[in-house]
Amino acid sequence: MALLLAGVMLSAGGCGNSGVNSANRMIDSMQDVVDLLRTVQDAPSARAAIGKLQPAFDDFVVALKEVAEIERDGGEVRGLKTQIAQLDRDLNRATAELQRESERLEAIRGLPAEFWSEYRMAGAELAVGFVEAAAIAGVADSAEVAAATASIKQIQTAYKTHGPEHVAEITIRGGRDYDRDEAVVRLERLAGGAAEIVLLPDSDAPDDLNVMVAPVGDLAAFRDAIDFGTVTDFIPERGEILLEVTEDLAGPYAGMTEQQIAQQKQAEAERAEAQRQREEQLAQQEAARKKREADEAKRRAEEEERQRPPERGKPDYFPKLLANLQDPQAAHHRTSIEHLLELKPSDAPDDQTREQLVAALRELVLAGGTNYAGDSPTDDAIRCLVGWAGEAAAPTLLARLKDSSQQIDAALLEGLAAFPSEEAATALAGKVKESQQQREAIAETLAAMGPVAEQPLLALIPDDSAEVNIAVINALGQCGTKASLRTMRLAARSENDQVAQAARDAADAIRERAKTTDE
């Protein structure tokens, strides 16, 4: 059933949006069936589901056939790979859930017969819908479809003619092939000449023989009349009888030669070994499935935890801040930086955590590049580093400055001004001529650095560019000492009126500042 469904739906991707939409509707209707079955936990909830099963199954069949018809006319896949992959995942999930819910229901005893009658009828019609959809879509061999359709429709007809409550479904287990053949003959005699007997293959249990008998007026009396084998299970509300055949119904190796008996025994031994291997394989598959489910549950839990934002007051608050800080692609990377901007270093629970946060901030600053899904350079990360590392951030700021070949972060200029050094001033002065766009901002930063910036600034002038001369002179006017006055006098003679005026103004500012210092 699952294989036919997968073939129909995945081929439907060839119909573009209509195929994808129809496939989604089919999966949704399948999920509706799963959700309805999931509500059935006991007799009261089963009674509540009566009257809802048939419509839900019918909607699923309609959606299934719609997908099959679209696939038949649609051609090759043209949908997005991501859409088809998502459909495949959704289908596998819904199919597995439907299988699990069906198996769970069949393990529940004591549900009302009315529930099982509707469930069996709806299930038969769904099975017919599956094989008809497979025929429409052309995803199964026509001979297989014909054989499956014939058996399923016989069951459906029996349900409609006699009512599911008068249809017995007998599973014959054990014995040899000819013993089970004899068992079918005996069941026919017990049911009477007017009874209908249908043999039903079961791909999930190929060694079992499933027989439908209809009509059966009294299931309990029919069970009691079985005079061979052992009835090991009887579920009257579902019309199910499990019959174990252990004796030689047709006699031990009846009519066989010695050679045939030897061959038969060899065949039985091979079947037993094959059954053992199948059981071992099934056990391995079940163990693998459980491991996959456990791994997936663990992965989902880890992903949910990773996606949870850091929350103040939680025990994992600072560990989450650190983890998000270390991963620029983390969902809450920016949020963690914003939190750190609001916190003080003394808020860290211990020195080790504080050092780890500072180290992560250094890595972010030195990485350069961009942050937060493509926003401008990491100004907030730099401000964080300055706030958390203090003057110890200066070497990192200088390293980033030396590595900056384009626009310099505003926060970097702020940090350099906060922790002035001659080395930083020299490196920053080298950017004055390079960056026309940021020239004034760089000059103002140098001015803010104070006297340590005087010699690096003086080394820049005179320059062929009036703009460079003016920016440097203005900066010296704010941070220069008497050592800059000679250069100001020379600049005041410039043929460029703006340069000359800037030099006179700067000289006045330096003299005025010198008076204050002398006093």
DSSP secondary structure, 269-300, as one string: HHHHHHHHHHHHHHHHHHHHHHHHHHHHHHHH
- pLDDT tens digit string along 240-258? 999 988 766 766 555 567 7
Q: How far is CA 241 from the centre of its chain?
A: 43
Tell me the C-alpha distance between 210 and 215, whole Å. 16
- Of all residues in the chain, the percent with pLDDT exceeding 90 is 48
pTM strictly above 0.75: no
pLDDT classification of 127: cutoffs 50, 70, 90: confident
The pLDDT score that the predictor gives to residue 90 is 85
Q: Give CA–CA dist 229/175, Å, rounded.
A: 9
Contact 231, 223 (CB under 8 A): yes
Residue 134 in this model has a pLDDT that exceeds 70: yes
Q: Residue 488: what pLDDT?
A: 94
Task: Give the pLDDT score at 370.
Answer: 43
DSSP letter (8 states) at residue 392:
G
**Distance of alpha carbon 121 from the chain centroid:** 37
437 phi/psi in degrees, rounded to 5: -65, -35
**How does the average pLDDT of the chain come out, rounded?**
84
3-state secondary structure of 199: strand
User: Residue 514's pLDDT band (boundaries 50, 70, 90)?
Assistant: confident
Q: Grade residue 518 by pLDDT with cuts at 50, 70 and 90.
A: low
Tokens for 374?
Answer: 């493509």
Report DSSP state, residue 371.
B
Whether 326 and 363 have beta carbons less than 8 Å apart is answered as yes
The average pLDDT across 365-387 equals 68
What tens digit of pLDDT does each residue of 67-100 get?
878 777 765 334 556 777 787 888 889 889 999 9
In 75-112, where does DSSP find H-type helix? 81-106
pLDDT of 255 reads 53
Residue among 33, 38, 31, 35 at smallest CA distance from 53? 33
User: Tell me, what's the pLDDT at 10?
Assistant: 39
Residue 288's Cβ-count burial label (10 Å; 0-12, 13-18, 19+) is exposed
Smallest Cα–Cα separation from 61: which of 134, 156, 159, 148?
A: 134
Listed residue (154, 156, 149, 147) closest to 130, CA to CA: 149
Which tokens in the block code for residue 5?
Answer: 């469904």
For residue range 6-38, list pLDDT tens digits in order.
344 434 444 445 577 888 888 999 999 999 999
Mean of pLDDT values over 218-228? 90
Band (pLDDT 50/70/90 cuts) for residue 53 is very high
Q: Which DSSP letter does residue 154 get?
A: H
Smallest Cα–Cα separation from 361: which of 411, 290, 405, 294? 411
* pLDDT tens profile 257-279: 778 778 878 888 998 999 999 99
Interior angle at CA 342, CA 337 and CA 347, nearest 5: 100
Closest by CA position to 212, among listed 150, 284, 274, 257: 150
Report CA torsion sign: 28, 30, 33, 38: negative
**Alpha-carbon span 158 to 47, nearest angstrom:** 24
Q: Report how far Cα 296 is from the mean position of its chain's Cα atoms.
A: 9
Residue 304: predicted pLDDT: 80
Decide which of 378 and 439 is more confident: 439
Place 178 in a pLDDT band, splitting at 50, 70 and 90. Answer: low
User: Omega of the bond prior to 319 within 30 degrees of 0, cis?
Assistant: no
Q: What is the pLDDT of residues 416-466, one digit of tens each?
A: 999 999 999 999 998 888 878 888 999 999 999 999 999 999 999 999 999
Question: According to the model, what pLDDT value does residue 253 have?
Answer: 59
pLDDT in tens, 275-329: 999 999 999 999 999 999 999 999 988 888 777 888 888 888 999 889 888 888 8
Rounded to an integer, what distance in angstroms lies between the CA atom of residue 465 and that of residue 445?
20
Percent of the chain with pLDDT over 70: 86
Distance of CA 360 to the CA centre of its chain: 29
pLDDT of residue 17: 52
Q: For residue 56, what are its two tokens? A: 């839900």
- Which of the residue ranges 136-150, 220-234, 364-378 would you say has the lowest mean pLDDT? 364-378
| pLDDT at residue 4 tops 60 | no
